[in-house]
Structure 1
């Protein structure tokens, strides 16, 4: 109910010269946008196709391919050389396709995350993308807005943070001036309104703005890689060094141990190095995080920093504001103590008609829906078109307001008052017992989480001779009238209907939800009770928090899920202490003062509908619908992305083990060389799309929100994460090497042995994909779970096998031979054995995973998780 008049924008009436044209028309704005271009500052320069191709061919894998092609030419094997070089172009094409797909999604996200602007078009306020603002647009500016273009202030008063341009941390006051060149009226693009409200006319956009003229040099900046991406790069560098060292050792071993010629030995070393190097990992992370951000946008969650996608799945504490996140951010009349019609009518008359106050709007909605209100005054006002002829505003010493109306009698006036219950009671002449009864009722309504207003009315007759309202000598204070107490109105911001189920999801997922609000404790407790937030009886308020040391507060936070009457600095302190206790914190906010806490949180979440630009730009994620359920959906999506990254990296480690074994073992045991660079390149044509397309498209697992969050220190490259895939790959490697040894021992030709083992290896890649899709399902049960890219990849593998068997030139390049029924039977036996091994390892490691999940569920049921 408290109203701050200092910074309220007063709009001129339609006859005013300022808004006579009601801003630009849609047609004018569209024409100007076409002529002058979008209001877009120089952005990051996209990677050109030439640069991307250069980066691809200078990677270690492709340098080795080029080296192998050159060696084949030196040996006179033109077919092998042509095949390798052709594959280089194929993989470059695949890389360009994947990069283009990722880049398109990132560009779409950048457009969504661009600053928004509130403009007046065609006479109405309209929220548009900042890049659609044009010269002569009228900008409506409020506290927390980032100014979309250079402009001149026409109305209101502002304080603006211009530190982006000047380096000065003190906000600058802005006032409208008659002269267009007045410096106090000048507003600059990208600066932030820290206080006030105003109306401004755009004078420059895009590169014509002050910040646009100096931002070109900053356009080439790129986003800092995530922690996981940095770990992956270190791993690849380490494995690259190891691959080079082992390849040199193998070359030396071939020459010394097998008495092999130099060039074939180098080819063998290159094949071995290519088998070791898992160059797919950085690509997987880049693609998964970028496309994950796009998928989040489909769930009404905008990602402003792609690296936040990585932290989403690990959130352990979700700190949320009450208003607008857990509640509707829309006040409604929930209870009336007294004659409902009389109370609501009087409260409505005590409110301005053109209001933005949420409680006054709630009164308007309530009265429009009710038919039993007293209508004599309203009927008279509606017929005559009159409004209040005098008003007493809220003041620091009296939290009540009164509006005065002319009745049908010349000197008689009706006064409607509303305000804080204690202030209204002070205006009324009531007995002490009646006063006590009102206070008791107010306390009861407040305990239900309602915001309570008192309502009173009065009749007053002007002195003789003052028959015209314009000549009335009005009393100086509301206290000079004799009021009659009418009753109380209770307002509530109702909980969002989807919140209880979303909270239950968080509890099942081991994510602790804490309410951190600046609202009253009683209101916060009532909402928490309605939505089932927590059964913890202990609460914490801002004043109590200030009395605790950091160590005391850490202990207190273990038993508190509701904090009320908080200041922004206190929210920041709570976030940092939770992080210091090992928690991964997600936090919501909407105001300018929430920005430090949003930036400090592991995942800051800003409100898209009611949040300020500063909050949105400080946060990693923006809720497009301000719904708590969207946050929970984002956590589930984050866990899905995290799961799929782990599946893809597990697949990469697993599939490289048999390739390494088949490249290493034959030279060591004096066997003929089995895998050549051409074979490994053929395998890469299957492995690359499996990593980036198949696993990225995997649906979320059934228990994604029924298990605890992963530990903050957990990594897909840790020994615990890598060990099961290595065991998978080791078993497949033993079976394939054993098949090679057995077939060679019984006298089968080298080409036939290579054909059988190579075919089995290629098909085992598909089996390893199935084994890593979902550890809760058997290999072939996973085929029932749809994944369009898996179907396409499987079809592609079969087409490749048919092609290499049917095309003589390819058979010659790969040094393989056609197969008969017996040969196919051997392949099927080997593949069956590989499938059995993969299923046994899946069952063993899944049993361990299930034990952890069961223990988590039991701890949750026993209340150990709070």
Structure 2
């Protein structure tokens, strides 16, 4: 960035000509920050293959390909597994790509804001992206600073630099001081000269230095990796076990007799069976379940004002154990309002005010420079000083038109507020009398009034963390326009109120086991008051950023555990807090809107940037963008995130039960001398097609209120809970025992081997479908039977219909034979009733243990 003297020497102080502006653009660049380098689309797609489950599937494809070459068949198996892989990775890629495009459109709007400059010696309006080094820019209240530069003229300019400093109070700027891109003019007028644009600005330098990435591994990614490892181990152990057992059996019965062709054929068949075991153990539908669950959650969260930029963040927010939230704009409305006053309400003044309320009304309307801008939603946005805007909204709420009062009483003379005087004065003419109106800090005005007022009421409002403002007046006699001997009229208390739903949302988070912590640049007194009102302060500590920063690393970890509020926080304090909390094992969600928040957003397990007030850098560093800047949207995101995680667990119970029983059946049947329970094509139907369809059915389950009645899942907690493990083992064992009985005795029906095998295959699929109902009630309560998830009934009914068609008409492909109506009725009753009863008994047993406190909720 040029120094003030350097930029004056380069561009002068009278504005650029059009040719000079074009030359500056070529030399120093346009006012657009270079977006982080995006990976090529093919690389973005290939990243989806980094999933551990996908890797297992790819390994299964390789094994199947080898076997296919050896046997000259099995191509259909390979194609089916590849289809599952491509479908799962394709869904994830498409959703993240669409979200990325929406994010880019959101950011592009920032560079199209109109800016007033002096070009060719005349005022001109250009887009922010067209500002160049050396441009003379006209500023007034409400303008965004388009680039870094120096003030050449200042008439009471105040800038909101919270995006850099975290300080909520606007900073007073005088001639010759720096101003920064990303800050806003809250009051006054002036001119600046641009000394740096685009990537050369402070915001651009920070963005480049950050090198936005998302290296933090999410809880779901870690848990799925661990699960994949366990599934691989199970499959390999089963494969080695069956190969070894069958070889020993072959030696004992005379099938394996030495190095000859017959022995080679037998060993090859054993190897094929082992491959089938490995393929059967892999949950092919799991990537599909995860992708579909994430996709559905992403769409629902977008409707709830949460734009998801990183798909897996949908689940991570559900695992959050603590939320570090900003105050302004997130917990509060970011709109100052009058919350208390010495008068009941403002009163419309006559030609000469006759009451304290009327004098306050006239002072609030006339003695100021702010304006209200009506918005489409019926609200009024303050243009200019936020405190004055609060006064104007107060008048508006009582049907008093400040514009009319200003037109009727134009200012004869006006002295703007400054930090030294701490007051603003305006002289007006009232019915031929000259009146001096003064408003400002109560402690200052009280010393200028006769008699001195009692400030007890002011102190009461100040103790409630309100910004207090006093009003006084006097009639000017002769030439005495001094601000002494004033008559005290009263005072108001102004604050940025909480959003209407914040207290309720904070309570819901706490009830859900999520600790909410507030990080703000405000004073400890203000932070304490706001946190108490929001329900955040619940016995924890209030610490300043400086106190926390000066602690040793181990002291920061200890302090973070008990911290409820961090006040006077500086840019890097939030990052230190996130790191300390993660050291305690917490899954940390962070909200932020400023450039200075980007490091914490990036480091957090899930970063939540503001869509309205957030800077480009903050939003680029985030995982989720809150489109309405509301804390309540975080609660909705948590709800959907937990639902997503539970739906994945539902599918895991469903599929691992099937996979476990298939593996045991394929192992046990030959050892016991029974025919092979499944053909390759039947295993293909069960493992690929049926489980993929079941993923769609179970991941569509709607969230239920109970999700926010339990604590978050711990970061290191396995995704397979004790309840799930027992359910898989018990139900799977039942299917194995019942299946072996059918294969050995045909007790459900069938006379020939083909009929017995067909009844077994039909009963196995029907039992698996019925077990889907048990999976729906994973939390111990059956959800709304039909309205909760109509997709489930549609998909499961479709599976049953397809299964009937396979049995009745699939003899040439599946080797089945048609069954009678009586046999189908017997199968339906025998498969459905025991499985439903078994599921009910398992849930009841765990509910009793949970009620007794022997196992934690959610296990």
Residue in 2 that maps onto 1:229? 221
Residue in 1 that maps onto 2:93? 103
Counterpart of 1:43 (choices 16, 20, 38) is: 38
Assess, with a 3 A threshold, how the Cα gap between structure 1 residues 532 and 248 changes in structure 2: closer, same or farther: closer
- The answer to whether the aligner puts 1:340 opposite 2:357 as a matched pair is yes
Counterpart of 1:193 (choices 194, 203, 209) is: 203
Assess, with a 3 A threshold, how the Cα gap between structure 1 residues 156 and 228 changes in structure 2: closer, same or farther: farther
Q: Is the 8 A contact 1:575 1:597 kept in 2?
A: yes
Query: Matches of 1:747 and 1:688 in 2, distance apart?
Result: 27
Deviation at 1:342, TM superposition (A): 0.9
Query: Matches of 2:145 and 2:696 in 1, distance apart?
Result: 38
Query: Matches of 2:665 and 2:605 in 1, distance apart?
Result: 44
- The answer to whether the aligner puts 1:731 opposite 2:731 as a matched pair is no
Q: Is the 8 A contact 1:445 1:452 kept in 2?
A: yes
Q: Is the 8 A contact 1:735 1:833 kept in 2?
A: no
Per-residue CA deviations over 1:37-70 (Å, capped at 9, x if unaligned) read: x998863333499989999998133344445555
Q: Is the 8 A contact 1:288 1:641 kept in 2?
A: yes
Assess, with a 3 A threshold, how the Cα gap between structure 1 residues 303 and 262 changes in structure 2: closer, same or farther: same
Per-residue CA deviations over 1:677-730 (Å, capped at 9, x if unaligned) read: 211101123443245322221111341111122222212147775343233322
Matches within 5 A, 1:118-267: 118=110, 136=130, 185=195, 187-188=197-198, 192-193=202-203, 226-233=218-225, 235-236=227-228, 239-240=231-232, 243-244=235-236, 246-247=238-239, 250-251=242-243, 253-254=245-246, 257-258=249-250, 259=255, 261-267=266-272
Q: Is the 8 A contact 2:285 2:687 kept in 1?
A: no
Deviation at 1:659, TM superposition (A): 0.7
Per-residue CA deviations over 1:463-490 (Å, capped at 9, x if unaligned) read: 6xxxxxxxxxxx9xx9766544332121
Three-state SS of the structure 1 residue aligned to 2:330 is coil
Deviation at 1:184, TM superposition (A): 7.0
Three-state SS of the structure 1 residue aligned to 2:706 is coil
Query: Matches of 2:179 and 2:510 in 1, distance apart?
Result: 49
Query: Matches of 2:325 and 2:402 in 1, distance apart?
Result: 42
Residue in 2 that maps onto 1:818? 818
Deviation at 1:660, TM superposition (A): 0.6
- The answer to whether the aligner puts 1:380 opposite 2:408 as a matched pair is yes
- The answer to whether the aligner puts 1:62 opposite 2:65 as a matched pair is no
Counterpart of 2:367 (choices 317, 335, 350) is: 350
Deviation at 1:461, TM superposition (A): 6.6
Assess, with a 3 A threshold, how the Cα gap between structure 1 residues 738 and 311 changes in structure 2: closer, same or farther: same
Residue in 1 that maps onto 2:685? 682
Three-state SS of the structure 1 residue aligned to 2:324 is strand
Query: Matches of 1:188 and 1:836 in 2, distance apart?
Result: 67
Three-state SS of the structure 2 residue aligned to 1:456 is strand
Deviation at 1:509, TM superposition (A): 1.5
Assess, with a 3 A threshold, how the Cα gap between structure 1 residues 372 and 96 changes in structure 2: closer, same or farther: closer
Query: Matches of 2:750 and 2:645 in 1, distance apart?
Result: 48
Residue in 2 that maps onto 1:422? 443
Residue in 2 that maps onto 1:489? 492
Query: Matches of 1:712 and 1:561 in 2, distance apart?
Result: 21
Query: Matches of 2:670 and 2:779 in 1, distance apart?
Result: 39
Deviation at 1:399, TM superposition (A): 2.0
Query: Matches of 2:116 and 2:807 in 1, distance apart?
Result: 70
Residue in 1 that maps onto 2:275? 270
Assess, with a 3 A threshold, how the Cα gap between structure 1 residues 65 and 641 changes in structure 2: closer, same or farther: same
Residue in 2 that maps onto 1:128? none
Three-state SS of the structure 2 residue aligned to 1:784 is coil
- The answer to whether the aligner puts 1:449 opposite 2:465 as a matched pair is yes
Q: Is the 8 A contact 1:510 1:708 kept in 2?
A: yes
Three-state SS of the structure 2 residue aligned to 1:642 is helix
Deviation at 1:246, TM superposition (A): 4.2
Deviation at 1:116, TM superposition (A): 4.8
Residue in 1 that maps onto 2:456? 440
Shifted more, 837-846 versus 92-101: the winner is 92-101
Q: Is the 8 A contact 1:284 1:692 kept in 2?
A: yes
- Give me the CA root mean square deviation: 5.0
Q: Is the 8 A contact 2:748 2:759 kept in 1?
A: no
- The answer to whether the aligner puts 1:633 opposite 2:636 as a matched pair is yes
Matches within 5 A, 1:689-704: 689-690=692-693, 692-704=695-707
Deviation at 1:536, TM superposition (A): 3.4
Deviation at 1:838, TM superposition (A): 3.0
Query: Matches of 2:652 and 2:563 in 1, distance apart?
Result: 39
Deviation at 1:625, TM superposition (A): 0.9
Shifted more, 824-833 versus 755-764: the winner is 824-833
Query: Matches of 1:417 and 1:134 in 2, distance apart?
Result: 38
Matches within 5 A, 1:695-844: 695-717=698-720, 722-743=725-746, 748-776=751-779, 783-807=785-809, 810-821=810-821, 823-828=823-828, 829-844=830-845
Matches within 5 A, 1:591-602: 591-602=594-605
Query: Matches of 2:540 and 2:247 in 1, distance apart?
Result: 76
Query: Matches of 2:760 and 2:566 in 1, distance apart?
Result: 64
Query: Matches of 2:637 and 2:150 in 1, distance apart?
Result: 42
Query: Matches of 1:521 and 1:542 in 2, distance apart?
Result: 10
Query: Matches of 1:757 and 1:714 in 2, distance apart?
Result: 37
Q: Is the 8 A contact 1:589 1:611 kept in 2?
A: yes
Assess, with a 3 A threshold, how the Cα gap between structure 1 residues 711 and 195 changes in structure 2: closer, same or farther: closer
Three-state SS of the structure 1 residue aligned to 2:110 is strand
Assess, with a 3 A threshold, how the Cα gap between structure 1 residues 562 and 60 changes in structure 2: closer, same or farther: closer
Shifted more, 509-518 versus 228-237: the winner is 228-237
Query: Matches of 1:121 and 1:249 in 2, distance apart?
Result: 69
Assess, with a 3 A threshold, how the Cα gap between structure 1 residues 854 and 274 changes in structure 2: closer, same or farther: closer
Q: Is the 8 A contact 1:460 1:481 kept in 2?
A: no
Three-state SS of the structure 2 residue aligned to 1:261 is helix
TM-score normalised by L of structure 1: 0.73
Assess, with a 3 A threshold, how the Cα gap between structure 1 residues 352 and 447 changes in structure 2: closer, same or farther: same
Query: Matches of 1:552 and 1:685 in 2, distance apart?
Result: 53
Counterpart of 2:646 (choices 633, 643, 648) is: 643
Assess, with a 3 A threshold, how the Cα gap between structure 1 residues 749 and 367 changes in structure 2: closer, same or farther: same
Deviation at 1:363, TM superposition (A): 1.6
Per-residue CA deviations over 1:790-841 (Å, capped at 9, x if unaligned) read: 223223212322322333xx31332221213454355232443333333322
Counterpart of 1:400 (choices 423, 426, 429) is: 423
Residues matched between the structures, number: 747
Three-state SS of the structure 1 residue aligned to 2:439 is strand
Query: Matches of 2:145 and 2:227 in 1, distance apart?
Result: 43
